[in-house]
């Protein structure tokens, strides 16, 4: 429905008509979403679903259009279409990526990676080694898992160096945060790719192009602030982390352990990335052929991640004495925290589908087009505002992607450009982590930083990462 078209018939709650009314619905919907998450403390999945229903009804969608009917199984349900459309793409990738990260985590791959880098760079460049560890290990593991696994290594490096723990933890955090925001298989970029219909190969490429300069800027800030704010190594957290780690390893790790080779860790992490990128660019470099079909098959994200997971099972598990029961236990336990992420992503898909079906998305697209602000800048600003207001990067990404999707649908944009829009959205979603963000408190408590110093260091670090990532995306967009 366009903003000027007749309203839906049969709507339960037809309150608006025309562009102005639909824009009011959009504003009220976003305000209600923020209110429910910030003030009512409603779970984001429930908040997104409730707001989607409310927006749909106010925009004139009928009950049948929203939910379908029991009598007619072929009736189109906007909610089911929105939920299923995004999760059909995202759930498999996030699930496989999560299990891959868990095998790397429990096998000791992070410790091997960090130790080798620390030995390679030496004591003076230990902060750089920690940053590279976060950058590489952050590709397959979630941000908070990376902190849990790598925090003891940060404690040890800071103790040996005798300097502020900020010099060591901030580069690590920058690496983990960059990969979490910009690179698949993390939920944010994967969800945005599904909502905006972009090949993951382009997202990986543009994530590296925008993310690497951004993380370098963040490392420069970390080196500067780490010499000006002294935070000692938190002894209580050292002991607590070691105890928790022993408990987890006793429960999940195979009885027989041998050190994992660094090359093995890098091969497991790099295999899916290489396969996906090869498939993306085979469509550019090769014409229709058997070779291209084979490359595209193995480079499909579902196949590439499945192969990487099976490789990890063998080289990190079976070949090192793990039983099938141990592999199953690690894989199954890793999926427990994924349910909430998938529900939030799915609800974001519902929100986008409702905006489109009710004509709200088209009204927003027309209005933003009249304003004249580039879609890249709009995407960044919307994501930034949502992030600062409610704290969740995932909510900011999926909500923003739903809002800007019609702007992209109207233009003849290349996959590379849309991937840069995703980078802008992702960059906005990490701006100014503060007290409404769970990551803020994880950083503060794990590394013994006061709330005031966390605002001066971690919050600013995230803002530097965000601004630098967006700046690079904006610059690259001129050439694609």
CA separation for the pair 467, 431 (Å, rounded): 8
Q: What is the pTM of this model?
A: 0.83
Number of neighbouring beta carbons within 10 Å of residue 311: 17
Q: Specify whether the backbone of 122 is left (phi greater than 0), alpha (psi in -120 to 50) or beta.
A: left
Q: What is the pLDDT of residues 374-397, one digit of tens each?
A: 899 999 999 998 898 888 888 899
Structure tokens at 391: 């704290």
Q: Are 282 and 299 in contact (CB under 8 A)?
A: yes
Average model confidence (pLDDT) across the chain: 85
- Give the residue from 223, 206, 129 showing the smallest Cα distance to 175: 129
Task: Identify the band that residue 181 occupies on the pLDDT scale cut at 50, 70 and 90.
Answer: very high
Residue for token pair 């004509």: 359
Structure tokens at 430: 């990490």
HSE-up of residue 410 (Cα within 13 Å, Cβ side): 15
Q: Are 445 and 401 in contact (CB under 8 A)?
A: no
pLDDT above 80: residue 250: no
- Give the residue from 465, 445, 440 showing the smallest Cα distance to 455: 440
- Give the residue from 54, 3, 7 showing the smallest Cα distance to 33: 54
Q: Are 446 and 147 in contact (CB under 8 A)?
A: yes
Number of neighbouring beta carbons within 10 Å of residue 160: 12
Phi/psi of residue 11, each to 5°?
-70, 150
> Within its chain, how far is the Cα of 476 from the centroid?
21
User: Any idea of the CA torsion for 269, 271, 277, 280, to the nearest 10 degrees?
Assistant: -130
Q: What is the pLDDT of residues 31-78, one digit of tens each?
A: 898 889 888 888 888 988 999 899 888 888 888 888 876 555 545 688
Please give the pLDDT value at position 467: 98
CA separation for the pair 38, 56 (Å, rounded): 22
- The residue range of the domain holding 237 is 1-480
Q: Are 454 and 444 in contact (CB under 8 A)?
A: yes
Among residues of the chain, what percentage have pLDDT more than 90? 41
Q: What is the pLDDT of residues 2-40, one digit of tens each?
A: 444 444 444 444 455 577 888 888 888 888 988 898 888
Q: What is the pLDDT of residues 429-444, one digit of tens each?
A: 999 998 888 889 899 9
Please give the pLDDT value at position 239: 64
143, containing H or E segment: helix 143-161
Structure tokens at 305: 């991640």
> Within its chain, how far is the Cα of 380 from the centroid?
15
Calculate the alpha carbon distances from 346 to 13, 154, 266, 392 in Å: 24, 36, 32, 15
Q: Are 163 and 222 in contact (CB under 8 A)?
A: no
Please give the pLDDT value at position 252: 46
CA separation for the pair 381, 418 (Å, rounded): 16
CA separation for the pair 275, 185 (Å, rounded): 13
User: Any idea of the CA torsion for 398, 400, 404, 409, to the nearest 10 degrees?
Assistant: -10
Among residues of the chain, what percentage have pLDDT more than 70? 90
Which residues share a beta bridge with 11? Answer: 62
Q: What is the pLDDT of residues 264-309, one digit of tens each?
A: 999 999 999 999 999 988 877 777 888 889 999 999 999 999 999 9
Domain count, the chain: 1
Q: Are 57 and 66 in contact (CB under 8 A)?
A: yes
pLDDT above 60: residue 466: yes
Phi/psi of residue 122, each to 5°?
85, 175
Please give the pLDDT value at position 246: 56
Residue 228 contacts by C-beta under 8 Å, 6 or more apart in sequence? Answer: none
| Mean per-residue pLDDT, 195-206 | 94
For the chain, give the longest Cα–Cα distance. 71
pLDDT above 70: residue 227: yes
Q: What is the pLDDT of residues 310-357, one digit of tens each?
A: 999 999 888 888 888 888 988 988 888 788 888 888 888 888 888 888
Q: What is the pLDDT of residues 128-167, one digit of tens each?
A: 999 999 999 999 988 988 888 888 889 888 888 889 999 9
Please give the pLDDT value at position 17: 58
- Give the residue from 312, 352, 407, 313 showing the smallest Cα distance to 90: 352
């Amino acid at each position: 429905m366009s903003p000027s078209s007749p309203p839906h018939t049969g709507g339960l709650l037809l309150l608006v008509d025309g562009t102005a009314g639909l824009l009011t619905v959009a504003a009220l919907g976003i305000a209600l979403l923020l209110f429910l998450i910030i003030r009512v403390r409603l779970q984001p999945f429930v908040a997104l679903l409730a707001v989607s229903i409310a927006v749909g009804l106010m925009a004139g969608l009928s009950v049948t259009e929203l939910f379908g009917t029991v009598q007619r199984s072929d009736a189109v349900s906007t909610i089911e279409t929105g939920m299923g459309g995004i999760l059909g793409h995202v759930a498999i990738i996030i699930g496989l990526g999560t299990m891959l990260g868990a095998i790397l985590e429990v096998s000791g791959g992070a410790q091997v990676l960090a130790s080798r880098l620390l030995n390679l760079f030496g004591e003076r460049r230990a902060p750089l080694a920690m940053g590279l560890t976060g950058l590489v290990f952050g590709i397959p593991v979630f941000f908070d898992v990376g902190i849990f696994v790598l925090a003891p290594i940060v404690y040890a490096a800071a103790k040996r160096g005798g300097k502020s723990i900020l010099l060591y933890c901030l580069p690590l955090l920058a690496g983990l945060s960059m990969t979490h925001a910009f690179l698949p298989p993390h939920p944010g970029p994967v969800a945005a790719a599904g909502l905006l219909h972009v090949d993951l190969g382009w997202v990986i490429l543009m994530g590296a192009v925008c993310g690497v300069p951004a993380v370098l800027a963040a490392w420069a800030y970390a080196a500067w602030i780490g010499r000006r704010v002294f935070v000692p190594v938190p002894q209580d957290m050292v002991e607590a982390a070691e105890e928790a780690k022993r408990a987890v390893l006793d429960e999940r790790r195979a009885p027989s352990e041998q050190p994992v080779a660094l090359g093995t860790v890098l091969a497991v992490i790099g295999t899916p990335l290489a396969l996906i990128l090869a498939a993306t660019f085979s469509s550019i470099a090769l014409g229709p052929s058997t070779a291209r079909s084979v490359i595209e098959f193995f480079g499909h994200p579902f196949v590439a991640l499945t192969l990487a997971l099976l490789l990890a099972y063998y080289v990190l598990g079976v070949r090192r004495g793990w039983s099938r029961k141990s592999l199953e236990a690690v894989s199954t336990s890793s999926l427990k925290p994924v349910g909430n992420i998938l529900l939030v992503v799915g609800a974001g898909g519902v929100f986008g589908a409702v905006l489109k079906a009710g004509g709200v998305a088209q009204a927003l697209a027309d209005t933003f087009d009249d304003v004249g602000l580039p879609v890249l800048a709009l995407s960044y600003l919307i994501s930034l505002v949502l992030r600062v207001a409610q704290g969740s990067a995932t909510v900011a990404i999926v909500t923003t992607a739903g809002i800007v999707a019609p702007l992209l649908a109207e233009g003849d944009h290349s996959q590379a450009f849309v991937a840069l829009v995703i980078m802008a959205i992702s960059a906005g979603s990490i701006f100014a982590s503060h007290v409404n963000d769970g990551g803020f408190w994880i950083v503060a408590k794990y590394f013994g930083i006061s709330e005031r110093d966390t605002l001066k260091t971690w919050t600013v670090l995230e803002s530097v990462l965000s601004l630098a990532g967006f700046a690079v995306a904006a610059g690259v967009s001129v050439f694609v």
